Structure 1
Amino acid sequence: MDLIGIYLRDAMGEGCPVCRILRKYEESEIETILYEHVNNPDVREKFKESLGLCTYHAWKTLRKAYSEPLLGPLGVAIIYEHMLRTYIAYLEEGTFPEEGECFLCGLMAEKERSTVDAFAERIEELLQEYENSESVLCRRHYRMLVSILRRTNPDAAERLGTVQLEKLQILKERLGSFIDKFDYRAEEPPTKKETSALPLTIEALKGLETGATVRKTQDRKGRRGFPWR
């Protein structure tokens, strides 16, 4: 197994391994922006295309800045002082700026595609690892992966579907046990696995909140679409 395969395998703890990779990548990119790119003119131009970052990433970046003593809010303030001046300049000219794609959302979309593609390319090495792990691909990333495999490796797509259903059934049973433990007749509290079934169920259905999963994409007809099609 190559380094990318090992990277994917190591992400198979609990929950969706693709979501976990994306969340780690997103946090790393936010740190990079705040530590290295506040005064980078090339990155600043990318910020101007969307007047900073999208709503989700703007607030996430600010929370990150305040949570890190070595960062603080100065870098975010410098970025958004520039964006505010840009906005005011548009209004003074009697125009209104169009909001382009968020710089971070673009990076997250690229990372999401490359991660799912890498998973599909190494499915024969990773499928057994996935089956034996506590991981459950979220609905979005399972669909992306299966869409690729149905074209490139139909047999693996079928095997992955069987594994996915088995994992979801186990999750359903644990969530049911968690609910049952709230009955007044229950003699024991929920186990750790039963308690974790609730957030893991939400993750299996909705994914983790990252710029990739909250990002709204539009197809050419203006309807919501999927970027891997």
Structure 2
Amino acid sequence: MDIAGIKLSEAFKGSGCPVCRAMEKFEEDEIATILYEHVTDPEIRRKFRESLGLCTRHAWRTLEIALGNPLLGPLGVSIIYEDVLNVYLRGERERDECLLCRLVKDKEKILVEALANRLEELLPEYRSSPAILCRRHYEMLVEKLKKEPKLLKKLEEVQREKLMELDSRLKAFIDAYDYRSTRRPTKEEARALEETIEFLKGRPVVMSAGSENRRGRGWLLGLK
């Protein structure tokens, strides 16, 4: 198995969508690289200016990662956004999409393509793993496999098995809350709700939009 196959295999070891998790890891690594190495890079600064910083999600995620790493802190993000603020004050407006959104979209295509190319080898491992491809990435993979009907049929069978097992756990979780029940739900049953939402709607946004309003702006910098 090549390096890409090994990385995909590793992503199968946890629950939830392996492609989503691999994308999150890529996103975090890219943010850290920008903050470590490219805060003053002219090309990166140009891209930030053209999009007036990052999209809402990636802007807050970048700050969260910076504040969570003592080697980074808020300085790099402050330098980037002071520059962007001045661009706005000069009357310039947003002309391009978020840099990280573009990078993540490209990575997503690469990951799905890599999985499609290695699925014959990886399918038995996927079947026995706790991972479940989310609806979005499963459908992207199905699109890639239309010219390989036998392999596609195998994937469809495995995915259905996984979803039926997930549904069974979710039903058991619900039943455990019946007033006549004498047992507590298991960890696997309790996890079924989050896994079902993740399958249908994707991974959660790490920093919730309401957290600032609930706690106040100062909590980000440890002022409250």
Alignment match, 1:224: none
For 2:137, what is the secondary structure of its paired residue? helix
* Selected match of 2:150 from 134, 146, 155: 155
1:107 and 2:103 correspond: yes
In structure 1, the gaps of 5 or more residues are: 91-95, 212-229
Alignment match, 1:218: none
For 1:15, what is the secondary structure of its paired residue? coil
Query: Do the aligned partners of residues 127 and 210 (structure 1) sit closer, same or farther apart at CA in structure 2, a change above 3 Å counting?
Result: farther
Name the stretch that deviates more: 175-184 or 137-146.
175-184
Give, as a single letter, the amino acid of the residue that structure 2 aligns with 1:159: K
- Separation in 1, partners of 2:156, 2:20: 19
For 2:181, what is the secondary structure of its paired residue? coil
Alignment match, 1:132: 128
TM-score normalised to structure 1 length: 0.86
1:205 and 2:186 correspond: no
Contact 1:11/1:21 (CA < 8 Å) preserved in 2?
yes
TM-score normalised to structure 2 length: 0.88
In structure 2, the gaps of 5 or more residues are: 207-224
1:2 and 2:2 correspond: yes
1:184 and 2:187 correspond: no
Structure 1 residues 8-19: aligned runs within 5 Å = 8-12=8-12, 13-19=14-20
Alignment match, 2:52: 51
How many pairs were matched up? 205
Q: Deviations over 1:150-187 (max 9, x none)?
A: 13x12111110111111001001101111111122221
Over aligned residue pairs, what C-alpha RMSD do you find?
1.4
Shift of the alpha carbon at 1:101? 1.1
For 2:81, what is the secondary structure of its paired residue? helix
Contact 1:26/1:210 (CA < 8 Å) preserved in 2?
no
- Separation in 1, partners of 2:137, 2:130: 16
Alignment match, 2:191: 196
Alignment match, 2:166: 171
Contact 1:62/1:76 (CA < 8 Å) preserved in 2?
yes
4+ residue runs over 6 A deviation? none
Alignment match, 2:219: none
For 1:122, what is the secondary structure of its paired residue? helix
- Separation in 2, partners of 1:124, 1:86: 51
Give the share of equivalent positions with the same residue, in percent.
55
Give, as a single letter, the amino acid of the residue that structure 2 aligns with 1:138: C
Query: Do the aligned partners of residues 210 and 5 (structure 1) sit closer, same or farther apart at CA in structure 2, a change above 3 Å counting?
Result: farther
